[in-house]
Structure 1
Amino acid sequence: MAEELGFDPHDPGRRAHYGEFYGLADLPDAPIFMVHGNCQAESLRVLLHAAGEGRWHGVRVPPVHELLAEDLPHLTRLLNRCSFVATQPVASGYRGLPLGSDEILALTPADSRAVKYPVMRWTALMPTLAIVRAQGVTDPPIAPYHDLRVLVAAAQGKSSVHLEPVSDEAVRASRDESLHQLRIRQQAHGTVDAASLFEAAGPDAAHVINHPSNQVLMGVAREILERLGEPGEVQDPGRVLLGGIRAPIYASTLHALGYSDDDLEAGPRDHWVIGGEKVSEDDVAAEHLGWYAHFPQVVAAGMKRHERLIGAMKLLD
């Protein structure tokens, strides 16, 4: 099961990391809150917890894609104590479990409050990067993202791919599509506004498409507090919250969006940074192209899901 999940749910270190959630550490005698969602949730919890200045306590919980049926009693126990919950929109019955936003909020006390924040994806700075899901298939090797240029090459049966920056028009098409989709999600679920924060953050908006910068995450945390009507100063934690992996950002992409090389704090890069190590973009592309040959269903799923953007960016020969 551990191999299928990508982690060992019974690993003592992991359970200690989520000690309060699993009842291995006592909860404080203070108002409790939790943040429900994907990898972005824990970063928001860190910011909200610090902004509370001891007025409330944020419990670290596993991301929603790691929660299992055996975790439900722990989740219910925690929710029964929550003064407020911040949640991304999660569909009811997610992964066959009652982990949807509405399902978990139904377990909170009658006087508990809730705020929704959107699933945040921003492709403006890395226009060909995408997320693809296929039943029963885990992430590709090295970098757990998909490059539409490589995906298209796989769909066309190519055995190699040479990565070139896309046109300025393609960059802006990706930016516009990302903004459009984020605003649709926000309006559909009544979430706080992250789209404006990404626009305002410009070249420092994200490290990879689903890892917003501290600047954006802090802005979302402030909007959550505003929705709750709670005072609190959201401050930079002094570390990069979601910086463990960073995608290539081309100088041509910055220029197409009206920025200069100097506008990006670390400057443009044509390589990945994974765990602090530089990884060649060509090496990742070659590994992914070979991987796609074993998982053609991923190629089919990706081409279908991103058909509109692939067309708008004119990636097909």
Structure 2
Amino acid sequence: MAEALGFDPHDPGRRAHYGEFYGLTELPDAPIFMVHGNCQAESLRVLLHGAGEGRWHGVRVPPVHELLAEDLPHLTRLLNRCSFVATQPVASGYRGLPLGSDEILALTPADASAVKYPVMRWTALMPTLAIVRAAGVTDPPIAPYHDLRVLVAAAQGQKSVRLEPVSPEAVRASRDESLRQLRTRQEAHGTVDAASLFEAAGPNAAYVINHPSNQVLMGVARAILDDLGRAGEVKDPGRVLLGGIRAPIYESTLDALGYRPEELEGGSREHWIIGGEKVSEADVAAEHLGWYARFPQVVAAGMKRHERLIRTMQLVD
């Protein structure tokens, strides 16, 4: 299981990184909280922890997709100490474990507070980018995201693909679909509002579709504190929380959305930035096409999941 998830749960460095969670480091004598969810959870914990200025303490925990059965005693111990919990909507029995939002909140003390924040995905700035999951298959090489233009080319048996910007109408259709899905998730799960924050952030809303900018994350953290009725100043941490990988953002995309290229931090770009290094979009596409040939089930899963958007954007005839 651990190998399939791409990490070693017994790695000493990893366990030290989550030292408080694993009981390797003593918890402070202060109200404790945790943030449960995907990669966005740790960034929100950092912001909420800083806003407390010593009045509460956020414990760093592994993201939900890394938690294993052997972690459950540590999770239960921590939740029993929590004064408040923020959680993304996670289905009960996630990955065969009691890691769902309701299961997590059931382990908190009766007087603990809880709030839900949405799974945040925003495709407005990178309309052809997508997330695809297929059983038993990890992420594609170089950039762990899928470009619908490349996915369609693979489905059609093409050996190469020319990455042309999509039409302004397609850009706006992707933005509208992203907004619709986010608002639907928020309403369905009773979360704080993030959709309006993405709209307000404009060209600087996200670095990739599931990595919001500091501006958006700070707004979500403020909404969480407001929902909990806790006073605290959410401050910029002085570093980009989720900027380790940045997708191409075309000038034509910005134009279609009514933004000017100079409004985007660093300007428009037709390349990836991964670990601070520029990576050609064409190189990523070529690697992904070869990878799709080895894992056709990913192509099938992606075409099915994103069929509506693919047709709306006219990526197929």
TM-score norm. by structure 1 comes to 0.99
Residue number in structure 2 paired with 1:303 = 303
Residue number in structure 2 paired with 1:70 = 70
Alignment of 1:268-307 (within 5 A): 268-307=268-307
- 2-structure distance, mates of 1:3, 1:63: 16
Residue number in structure 2 paired with 1:82 = 82
**Structure 2 residue 180 is the aligned partner of structure 1 residue 180:** yes
Letter of the 2:303 partner, please give it: M
Cα deviation per residue 1:214-251 (whole Å; 9 max; x = unaligned)? Answer: 00000000000000000000010000000000000000
Letter of the 1:255 partner, please give it: D
Letter of the 2:159 partner, please give it: S
- 2-structure distance, mates of 1:105, 1:248: 38
Residue number in structure 1 paired with 2:104 = 104
Residue number in structure 1 paired with 2:224 = 224
Residue number in structure 1 paired with 2:266 = 266
SS in 2 for 1:110: coil
Alignment of 1:26-37 (within 5 A): 26-37=26-37
SS in 1 for 2:240: coil
Alignment of 1:37-76 (within 5 A): 37-76=37-76
1:39 shift after superposition: 0.1
- 2-structure distance, mates of 1:279, 1:95: 33
Residue number in structure 2 paired with 1:244 = 244
- 2-structure distance, mates of 1:240, 1:229: 27
Residue number in structure 2 paired with 1:161 = 161
1:2 shift after superposition: 4.5
1:292 shift after superposition: 0.4
* Stretches of structure 2 lacking an aligned partner (at least 5 in a row): none
- 2-structure distance, mates of 1:66, 1:7: 8
Cα deviation per residue 1:86-145 (whole Å; 9 max; x = unaligned)? Answer: 000000000000000000100000000100000000000000000000001000000000
SS in 2 for 1:279: strand
Letter of the 2:140 partner, please give it: P
Q: CA RMSD in A?
A: 0.6
**Structure 2 residue 195 is the aligned partner of structure 1 residue 195:** yes
Q: Which moved more, 1:115-124 or 1:260-269?
A: 260-269
- 1-structure distance, mates of 2:13, 2:112: 31
Cα deviation per residue 1:249-274 (whole Å; 9 max; x = unaligned)? Answer: 00000000001111102100000000
Letter of the 1:168 partner, please give it: P
- 2-structure distance, mates of 1:146, 1:73: 36
* Stretches of structure 1 lacking an aligned partner (at least 5 in a row): none
SS in 1 for 2:174: helix
SS in 1 for 2:71: helix
- 2-structure distance, mates of 1:243, 1:45: 16
1:3 shift after superposition: 3.3
- 1-structure distance, mates of 2:10, 2:279: 32
**Structure 2 residue 115 is the aligned partner of structure 1 residue 115:** yes
1:5 shift after superposition: 1.6
Letter of the 1:230 partner, please give it: R
Letter of the 1:306 partner, please give it: H
1:4 shift after superposition: 1.6
TM-score norm. by structure 2 comes to 0.99
- 2-structure distance, mates of 1:3, 1:277: 27
SS in 2 for 1:84: strand
- 2-structure distance, mates of 1:278, 1:48: 32
**Structure 2 residue 235 is the aligned partner of structure 1 residue 235:** yes
- 2-structure distance, mates of 1:261, 1:53: 37
- 1-structure distance, mates of 2:4, 2:133: 14
Alignment of 1:201-212 (within 5 A): 201-212=201-212
Residue number in structure 2 paired with 1:16 = 16
- 2-structure distance, mates of 1:214, 1:292: 33
1:49 shift after superposition: 0.1
- 2-structure distance, mates of 1:272, 1:6: 23
- 2-structure distance, mates of 1:64, 1:131: 17
SS in 1 for 2:272: strand
